Amino acid sequence: MRSITYLASGLPIALAATSGQFDVLSLNVAGLPALFNGNDVPGDKTVNSEELGRKFSEYDYDVIHMQEDFNYHAHIYKTDTHPYRTATSGGAGFGQGLNTVSNFPWVDFDRVKWATCSDASGADCLTPKGFTTMRVRLDEGVYVDFYNLHTDAGSQAQDVQARGANLQQLADYIGTNSAGNAVLVFGDTNARYTNNENIRVFSTEQGMTNPWVQLILNGVEPPQGIPAWVCDNPTTNNTCETVDKIFYRGSRSVELSATFWSYVGSKFLLDGHILSDHNPIASNFTWTLSNSLRQSDLFGGPHGTWFNDLASLPSSSTGQNKPSKIVLSGGNRLDSVGLTLASGQTTTHGGNGGTTTELTLGPNEYWTQTQLCQDKYNGHTRIFSLKATTSTGNTISAGKTTSDCKNFSAPAGWQIVGLYGRDGDEVDELGFIYAPQQ
């Protein structure tokens, strides 16, 4: 049993760090080969790219999304010092041009290609443009899903149609793969509110907020159909509109709030000239943990289908909403894990295999501790075993233990009431949702 140290306030230290802050930057770095696209940017692209890396290090934004990071990628990374960085997917014609540098680690990184593209105004189909996704870990159990995107460019009807399909594809992906999660989307959307495009899909379908609209425009979106609010480069006019956007939302376990938004092009100059044809945009956020629901770290591999009980959990976890039974199935690995509430509501994650075992909880008994073990099966990391321990010392387990295990403990006075992670025919990745016992 771990030792708990208490503060003068009476709160255990495990519950004391309940908030934090971070900042982000989005910049299309104009990394197409100079032979094909000079971007009307003065200077040598190699020199400019190395200066961008120096600026990234100097200003030390916590998470930086880059677009068009193609053929000069190595020069940016040569001078950038962020500890976490995505590996390039290749130059123009081969890679996405999407990369991220960060002060925070992440899990579940993936690259997704757009299902629709158009060459009506350029060569958008020449390279596999799309979006990236990653779960950035801000603190223990505090994850935010970060998406970086670069949609189809151009103004022809086919371009507009493809771009709308791109934005809808990402919104749909978030609806499935970030269900219940806090989310940040930022990058080059190639879309404006003033145009007849569905840039609003993140707000209307995924409950997200644009901090530019929220903080600069007092919550009023620019109307469609009016002339574009064109920006200089660089600009000090935050009310003009570029195609680079940020959207965000919190979750039931972590509240996100935007506290700042601005164009910051004046920070990214070399001898007075711009380093990219895009204005970089920056935003600051605070995060605050909920008093009623918290999450553990994740453990396992980035495979299977995302699930999260946060969206369906009752507002209280007492009385009829208290977990009354733990149900596990396993054999060589953990096949499934589930919880039954006193009301009879049941959630189960994983497949249909294995031998089932159950543990019924007493009226004042709570699931408080867990050991998970992982290993590889068919080249994929999966959860091989789970051992649950209750507040009264009862245990239940399934699967086979390995040498790679991790212990989870609910904060003092809290209990495990739900699950989140990835599954398929077995359990690939798992984390726990905590709520107060009373």
425: left (phi over 0), alpha (psi -120 to 50) or beta: alpha
Instruction: Tell me, yes or no, whether 13 lies in a domain.
Output: no
**Residues 131, 39 share a domain:** yes
Q: Work out how many domains the chain is built from and give that number.
A: 2
In a domain, 12, yes or no: no
Contact 164, 116 (CB under 8 A): no
For residue 134, the domain's CATH number is 3.60.10.10
Q: Is residue 14 part of a domain?
A: no
Domain match, 302 and 280 both? no
Residue 361 domain-assigned (yes or no): yes
Domain that includes residue 362, residue range: 294-436
The single-letter code of the amino acid at 235 is: T
Final residue of a structural domain among 289, 323, 341: 289
Same domain, 30 and 128: yes
Domain boundary among 289, 310, 335: 289
- If we measure between CA atoms, which residue out of 140, 138, 20, 10 comes closest to residue 412? 10
pLDDT of residue 20: 97
Question: Are 335 and 413 within one domain?
Answer: yes
Indicate whether 279 and 189 sit together in one domain. yes
Question: What residues contact 68, with CB distance under 8 A and at least 6 apart?
Answer: 28, 29, 30, 31, 32, 97, 150, 188
One-letter amino acid of 242: T
Give the chain's residues under pLDDT 70. Answer: 1-17, 36-39
Judgement on whether residues 301 and 358 belong to the same structural domain of the protein: yes
In terms of domains, do 235 and 300 share one?
Answer: no
> What pLDDT shows up at residue 38?
64
Let me know if residue 99 belongs to a domain.
yes
Per-residue pLDDT, 134:
98
In this structure, are 361 and 430 located in the same domain?
yes
pLDDT in the model for residue 37:
66
Domain with 337 in it: what CATH number?
2.100.10.30
Do 119 and 201 fall into the same domain? Answer: yes
Listed residues 289, 310, 338: the one ending a domain: 289
SS3 of residue 89 by DSSP = coil
Tokens standing for 251? 């979750």
Strands 294-295 and 414-423: unpaired
The conformational region for residue 89 under phi > 0 = left, psi -120 to 50 = alpha, else beta, is alpha
* 254 & 300 share domain: no
| 1 found inside a domain | no
In a domain, 261, yes or no: yes
Is 5 part of any domain? no
* Nearest C-alpha neighbor of 45 from the set 231, 274, 203, 226: 274
